[in-house]
Structure 1
Amino acid sequence: MTTLFRKGLIATVLAGTTALPAMAEEISWIYCGDTVDPVHTKAIEDWQAANEGWTVAVDLVGWGQCQDKATTLAAAGSPVAMAYVGSRTLKEFALNELIVPVPMTDEEKAAYYPHIVDTVTFEGTQWGVPIAFSTKALYWNKDLFKEAGLDPEVPPKTWAEEIEFAKIIKEKTGKAGYGLPAKTFDNTMHQFLHWVYTNNGTVIDADGNVTIDSPQVLAALQAYKDITPWSVEGATAYEQNEIRAIFLDGQVGMIQAAVGAAFRLEDTKINWGVADLPLGPDAKGKGTLLITDSLAIFSGSGVEDKAIEFAKYITSPAIQEAYEGGGAAGLTPLRPGPAVDAMVAGAPYWKPFIDGIEFGGPEPLFTDYKGFQNAMIEMVQSVVTGAAEPQAALTKAAAQLEEYK
């Protein structure tokens, strides 16, 4: 057994294994989840009917294992044609020559909301097709606002107001003013990046330069320190979904969460509202972290071109709109259009999740995304627990990220 190490990617390959290319008439797809979405089932049937002799073989794999399975098969020389992956892994896959580029025309790029294509772009080349998208907004408990003497209809618009409101809620009601997740979990990094992108900050630029040690990101980390005393106690024990559960129980004044929280809140007695994420002092406009999952086309399957064709078909506007509005409820739409306008008109709480896209930023692409993620989590936790001051924590993280770019 031979173990290969390159740019942080670890792939285990059985010695002597001979790569077996997929049959020319089959596109194998590692599909994450417990079931295949009905929208995709119908789309696959339609595509096969229009492409005589071709079939799409779906391999349904649980969320916790699907990306690892795709990686292992590719590194062993027996890749699937296509797999659902987190877009943040694309740079690592590309540098290890495990996937092929997925060129997009200017027209295709323009159809998406701003910056969506950036989440799959490395050195000017697209390496995947976005299929799922998430943004965040601020939720507030109007009853707790009222109990604390705050106007229940006026959420904070700036970080300074958010910190002040959290303080007032904690002092007046005894309940947490803000839900800050800082567990050793990926969304601890994601939650912090929302603050980075609501202050015009960046982590790494288009040329691969680490830019995290900046006044904008330092201000975000300082804000984390300032809001911690008024947040949930023991923030390092909580991840995002656990914070959301506390909010749904009426025990915290404000959280930032995806639109799925709104669906759950509709079935509670909580008097709630949703608004744009509060802005930092250097913000240029409404912002949020733009997280996408993508379809990656693996090298060596023998059907790369046809897989690209299928990937673009299965994420085409009509199919994607049905997917986002049906079984994948809770996803932010990837593209603007009349269907999105109708959705916002019917459920106005959708608006902040759309509006934040304009000045949002993509999940940073690193060659070792797990190393990047762990460095970010360590930075956040050290500030939240008081083990380090913001500037020292930021400088340390910046040095670590140099190793992972």
Structure 2
Amino acid sequence: MKLMNITMGALLLSGTAMAAQADEELHFIMCGGEVREADQAVVDKFEADNEGVTVNLEAVPWGTCQDKSLTLAAAGDPPSIAYMGSRTLRQMANNDLIVPAQIDPEAPYQEGVLNTVTIEGTTWGYPHAFSTKALYLNCDIIEASGQECVAPKTWDEMYTMAKGVVDNTEAAGVGLAGKDFDNTMHQFLNYLYSNGGVVIDSATGENKLDSKETRETLEFYGKLVEVAQDGPTAWERDQLRDLFNDGQIAMYVNGPWGHNQHNEDINQLVAPVPAGPSGESGTILITDSIVVFKGSGHEDLAHELAQAITSGDSQYDLDSTWGLTPILDYKALGMSEVYYESGIWPNFTATISTGGPEPLVEDFKSLQSVFTNMVQGIILQDDTVDNLVTIAAEELDDAL
């Protein structure tokens, strides 16, 4: 664990330099095991602007960070503020451990971003890191199959291209995630949101999974098994990246970071996730966020720090240096040149408005199981599409 204590200075007492006693100390837990330069700069300025305030900034690895924050809060010794996965928000809100965020209504968040931190109309976190997904294509494989490497716009076009690869090369047409892992749910939701589907209504909390859109998506996922790598239930997204690099699959879905993780000799094309019959091209919207804990005694200051660290210039610095999908419309903030208007980025921003959030439930493992069971059921042909969706919707009711 890396611990960083940032103080406001020292005063001399009886000829000896002694650390100044802070009037207020904010305990800030930063998940991820490191403190990004952009965030550190905000903390330094916040201390300079607030005399007598120190920020005890503690960077904790993801594997233990969220549990540590929750344990401290449940024990009555909450951190003042923490950066953590937005998927924890419902659990913390339901257990009265955090307070609602005070989002600036003028802040130009990208459409749909606030849905990733909103539960039944209440916003519980300040979004601070944002990702979307797109389709990667290996044009060398696709062209070797006798096809033109043009981005498929619909599911039918994607399947036809994948089938052409299978019929004419040694590679699989598409990489499909089906392992008991969280990104199996994420991969499925990229297709569901590209078909107009909804999991949980963020305004009402209503379960919307049992729908025509979900059935169409699950049917398509099952169809993709015919043109996918062997044994999809053994594979998760990062392993699909390895198959892509090895020339064993022609297409798969990943985030913007995937582009630089692919072999330089691959002639790759990036495109929005193709649209299903009932929707437009979409993506899953995933955020990490800053939360303010209840009972620290520093809630007002914590809100100020959260607002500062997620504000325009500071947020832009983090987004651009970390290679994240832009969380704000920075053009609306007056920036004339922005990093995400060129290169691969339009493929990751074009679908923000038609995307949907990672669903917020109290027990994330239960949510993951809902989708894993449904996806594995269709991959292994254990049941019909109709029954699998009906069962998944009932399981989601239990998770809610």
Normalising by structure 1, we get a TM-score of 0.90
What is the CA–CA distance in structure 2 between the aligned matches of 1:24 and 1:51, rounded to whole Å? Answer: 10
What residue identity is the alignment partner of 1:393? L
Partner of 1:78: 77
Runs of 4+ in 1 over 3 A off after TM superposition: 338-342
Does the alignment pair 1:201 with 2:197?
Answer: yes
Partner of 1:131: 128
Describe the SS at the equivalent of 1:179: coil
Shift of 1:348: 2.0
Partner of 2:281: 286
Shift of 1:344: 3.4
What residue identity is the alignment partner of 1:112? Y
Question: 1:286·1:358 contact (CA, 8 Å) conserved in 2?
Answer: no
Structure 2 gaps, min length 5: 1-21
Partner of 1:223: 220
What is the CA–CA distance in structure 1 between the aligned matches of 2:121 and 2:76, rounded to whole Å? Answer: 27
Describe the SS at the equivalent of 2:62: coil
What are the superposed Cα offsets for residues 114-141 of structure 1, whole Å, 9 maximum, x if unpaired?
0111111112211110010000011101
The partner residue of 1:337 within 308, 315, 330 is 330
Shift of 1:358: 1.2
Normalising by structure 2, we get a TM-score of 0.91
Give the total of aligned pairs.
Answer: 375
Partner of 1:117: 114
Question: 1:134·1:291 contact (CA, 8 Å) conserved in 2?
Answer: yes
Measured on the aligned residues, the alpha-carbon RMSD in Å equals: 1.5
Partner of 1:169: 165
What are the superposed Cα offsets for residues 328-362 of structure 1, whole Å, 9 maximum, x if unpaired?
22x111012245953234x4211110001011111
What is the CA–CA distance in structure 1 between the aligned matches of 2:181 and 2:215, rounded to whole Å? Answer: 22
Once the two structures are superposed, the pairs formed by residues 228-247 of structure 1 within 5 Å of their partners are: 228-247=225-244
Shift of 1:24: 5.8
Q: Which has the larger radius of gyration?
A: 2
Does the alignment pair 1:380 with 2:375?
Answer: yes
Once the two structures are superposed, the pairs formed by residues 319-334 of structure 1 within 5 Å of their partners are: 319-326=314-321, 328-329=322-323, 331-334=324-327
What residue identity is the alignment partner of 1:316? S
What is the CA–CA distance in structure 2 between the aligned matches of 1:341 and 1:142, rounded to whole Å? Answer: 30
Question: 2:102·2:303 contact (CA, 8 Å) conserved in 1?
Answer: no
What is the CA–CA distance in structure 1 between the aligned matches of 2:285 and 2:205, rounded to whole Å? Answer: 19
What residue identity is the alignment partner of 1:386? Q
What is the CA–CA distance in structure 2 between the aligned matches of 1:101 and 1:319, rounded to whole Å? Answer: 22
Describe the SS at the equivalent of 2:258: helix
What is the CA–CA distance in structure 1 between the aligned matches of 2:171 and 2:160, rounded to whole Å? Answer: 14
What is the CA–CA distance in structure 1 between the aligned matches of 2:310 and 2:343, rounded to whole Å? Answer: 25
What is the CA–CA distance in structure 2 between the aligned matches of 1:367 and 1:114, rounded to whole Å? Answer: 24
What residue identity is the alignment partner of 1:357? I
Question: 1:177·1:254 contact (CA, 8 Å) conserved in 2?
Answer: yes
Describe the SS at the equivalent of 2:30: strand
What is the CA–CA distance in structure 2 between the aligned matches of 1:36 and 1:103, rounded to whole Å? Answer: 24
Shift of 1:278: 0.2
Question: 1:247·1:253 contact (CA, 8 Å) conserved in 2?
Answer: yes
Shift of 1:367: 2.6
Shift of 1:35: 2.0
Q: In structure 2, do the counterparts of structure 1 residues 340 and 200 end up closer, same or farther at CA, with 3 Å as the change threshold?
A: farther
What is the CA–CA distance in structure 1 between the aligned matches of 2:294 and 2:23, rounded to whole Å? Answer: 14
Structure 1 gaps, min length 5: 1-22
Q: In structure 2, do the counterparts of structure 1 residues 276 and 340 end up closer, same or farther at CA, with 3 Å as the change threshold?
A: farther
Once the two structures are superposed, the pairs formed by residues 82-101 of structure 1 within 5 Å of their partners are: 82-101=81-100
Identity of aligned residues (%): 41
Question: 1:182·1:188 contact (CA, 8 Å) conserved in 2?
Answer: yes
What are the superposed Cα offsets for residues 138-186 of structure 1, whole Å, 9 maximum, x if unpaired?
110101111111102x121101111121111112112111011111111
Does the alignment pair 1:27 with 2:26?
Answer: yes
Comparing 303-312 and 202-211, the one that deviates more: 202-211
Partner of 1:103: 102
Describe the SS at the equivalent of 2:345: helix
What is the CA–CA distance in structure 1 between the aligned matches of 2:236 and 2:359, rounded to whole Å? Answer: 20
What residue identity is the alignment partner of 1:296? V
Shift of 1:368: 2.3
Partner of 2:290: 295
Shift of 1:81: 1.0
What is the CA–CA distance in structure 1 between the aligned matches of 2:127 and 2:66, rounded to whole Å? Answer: 15
Partner of 1:10: none
